[in-house]
Amino acid sequence: MLSVVVLLAFAACACDSFGRHGSFISRRQLNQKAQLGSPTGDESGVALAAQGIETVSGLKFFTLEGGMCPYAARTWICFLELDMDYETVGINGLKKPEWYEEINPKGKVPAIQNLVDGSLVYESAICDEYLCDLAQSTDPDGPPGESKVWKLMPIGPGDRAALRLMNDHVDTEVCPAHFTFLMNKDGSRDEVLKDALEKALVVLEDTLVSHGGPYLMGSEFTIADVHFLPFFLRLVVSLRYFKEYEVPSEKYPRLLQWLEICSRRDSVKAASPSDERIIELYKKFVEAEYGFGGLNKNK
Ligand SMILES: N[C@@H](CCC(=O)N[C@@H](CS)C(=O)NCC(=O)O)C(=O)O
């Protein structure tokens, strides 16, 4: 049943075009380019994907055509925040090219291919940290010894662990609670499911308070914000439309303020679909008959 929903998502994503960021290369164009350099057509999928495209960084970003995938949105935001050069390759989710299995054996987006050293990276959380690792540098004017400059990641081991724990909470608690509530068709269970979601959201509200905001890790915008943003945006829009549920501002003032502040960033604007497109896509989820709870267990 899950695959039905995934297919619906792909169907909704497949026909759209990208927003203003990232040069879009279709599968057909990519294959044409690949075939030009591969007269015998017997190269591996990775080689095929790698041919014919040049960026300074040599980084290719695999995402769904249409740019609606919230996982890929995370990595997209990181590319933009880190000001990294990259080439976008849109994958048609309904008709994934065979070679894509060699980029990501799980067949999912996002994925990154580094043409310089051959690295293949997938899973959004890992892609995002990978980009931070690549962008990380040493401040020549810093104190003697190591003086690392990180963007989007804190430096201290404790902070880094806290960030990863928060991301884990989003994936394992918040996202499943959102989808379970959204998809529930038994009205008598709505209250319980709403409470479960609110309980999961309290952790993030409390974190904003304890870290002092305005961002989840404190004064700096980090991967923790990136990780939750695409999902919280979809949560707010979908629950308002389908459940007439507003995230209560008296209970979550910091969280709602956080969404507003983050939404002003160019990177977030670029990777955020309009409310209309979110509703259009989620209509397909909500109208599908299914028997599971929690679409996004981040598997
Ligand atoms: N755990 C993965 C989830 C990624 C994911 O599920 N992406 C969806 C699109 S939004 C996908 O590619 N699904 C393809 C499939 O399941 O075959 C991550 O964090 O990157």
- Partners of 62 in beta bridges: 89, 111
- pLDDT, tens only, 82-120: 999 999 999 998 899 999 999 999 999 999 999 999 999
Q: Do 12 and 69 reside in the same domain of the chain?
A: yes
Looking at residue 141, its pLDDT comes to 82
> Taking residues 180-202, what's their average pLDDT?
96
Q: By alpha-carbon position, which residue is closest to atom 13 of ligand 1?
A: 108
In CATH, what number is assigned to the domain containing residue 125? 3.40.30.10
The Cα angle at residue 271 between residues 267 and 231, in degrees rounded to 5:
110
| Rounded Cα distance, 144 and 137, in Å | 14
Q: Do 133 and 164 reside in the same domain of the chain?
A: no
Q: What is the dihedral of CA 255, 260, 261, 263, to 10 degrees?
A: 120
The verdict on the CB of residue 234 being under 6 Å from ligand 1 is no
What atom of ligand 1 comes closest to residue 298's alpha carbon?
1
| Rounded Cα distance, 14 and 66, in Å | 6
Looking at residue 289, its pLDDT comes to 61
The verdict on the CB of residue 62 being under 6 Å from ligand 1 is no
- pLDDT, tens only, 113-154: 999 999 999 999 999 999 999 999 888 787 776 678 899 999
The verdict on the CB of residue 107 being under 6 Å from ligand 1 is yes
Of 80, 110, 138, the residue at which a domain comes to its end is 138
Tell me whether residue 152 is in a domain: no
What percent of the chain has pLDDT above 90? 70
Among 35-39, 55-59, 113-117, which is the least confidently predicted range? 35-39
Q: Do 8 and 108 reside in the same domain of the chain?
A: yes
- pLDDT, tens only, 240-259: 999 999 999 999 999 999 99
Q: Which two tokens stand for residue 146?
A: 């190591």
Is residue 65 predicted with pLDDT exceeding 70? yes
Centre of ligand 1 to C-alpha 145, Å, is: 41
| Ligand 1 site-directed mutation target among 5, 10, 109, 122, most atoms within 8 Å of CB | 109
Q: Are 76 and 131 in contact (CB under 8 A)?
A: no
Q: Do 169 and 259 reside in the same domain of the chain?
A: yes
Helices marked H in the chain: 2-14, 27-36, 45-50, 70-81, 100-103, 124-135, 157-169, 175-183, 190-211, 223-243, 253-263, 266-271, 275-287
Q: Regarding predicted confidence, which is higher, 252 or 45?
A: 252
Q: Do 92 and 178 reside in the same domain of the chain?
A: no
State the residue range of the domain holding 187.
157-287
Centre of ligand 1 to C-alpha 109, Å, is: 5
User: What's the alpha-carbon Rg for the chain, to the nearest Å?
Assistant: 20
Q: Are 61 and 251 in contact (CB under 8 A)?
A: no
Tell me whether residue 186 is in a domain: yes
Q: Do 211 and 281 reside in the same domain of the chain?
A: yes
Is residue 42 predicted with pLDDT exceeding 50? no
Q: How many separate domains does the chain show?
A: 2
> Taking residues 147-162, what's their average pLDDT?
93
Of 138, 167, 193, the residue at which a domain comes to its end is 138
Q: Do 71 and 105 reside in the same domain of the chain?
A: yes
HSE (side-chain half, CA atoms, 13 Å) at 1: 11
Is residue 175 predicted with pLDDT exceeding 90? yes
Looking at residue 50, its pLDDT comes to 57
Tell me whether residue 245 is in a domain: yes
- pLDDT, tens only, 262-294: 999 999 999 999 999 999 999 988 987 654 444
Helices 275-287, 175-183: inter-axial angle, 10-degree rounding: 70
Q: Do 134 and 164 reside in the same domain of the chain?
A: no
What percent of the chain has pLDDT above 70? 77
Complete DSSP assignment for 93-120: GGG--TTHHHH-TT--S-EEEETTT--E
Tell me whether residue 148 is in a domain: no
- pLDDT, tens only, 67-85: 999 999 999 999 999 999 9
Q: Are 178 and 198 in contact (CB under 8 A)?
A: no
Q: Are 285 and 182 in contact (CB under 8 A)?
A: yes
Q: Do 60 and 161 reside in the same domain of the chain?
A: no
Tell me whether residue 61 is in a domain: yes
Q: Do 6 and 77 reside in the same domain of the chain?
A: yes
Tell me whether residue 200 is in a domain: yes
Q: Do 131 and 173 reside in the same domain of the chain?
A: no
Centre of ligand 1 to C-alpha 168, Å, is: 16
In CATH, what number is assigned to the domain containing residue 161? 1.20.1050.10
Tell me whether residue 222 is in a domain: yes
Of 79, 103, 138, the residue at which a domain comes to its end is 138
Write down the mean pLDDT value for the chain. 83
Tell me whether residue 297 is in a domain: no
The verdict on the CB of residue 13 being under 6 Å from ligand 1 is no
Q: Do 45 and 125 reside in the same domain of the chain?
A: yes
Q: By alpha-carbon position, which residue is closest to atom 6 of ligand 1?
A: 108
Q: Which two tokens stand for residue 228?
A: 């939750």
Is residue 44 predicted with pLDDT exceeding 90? no
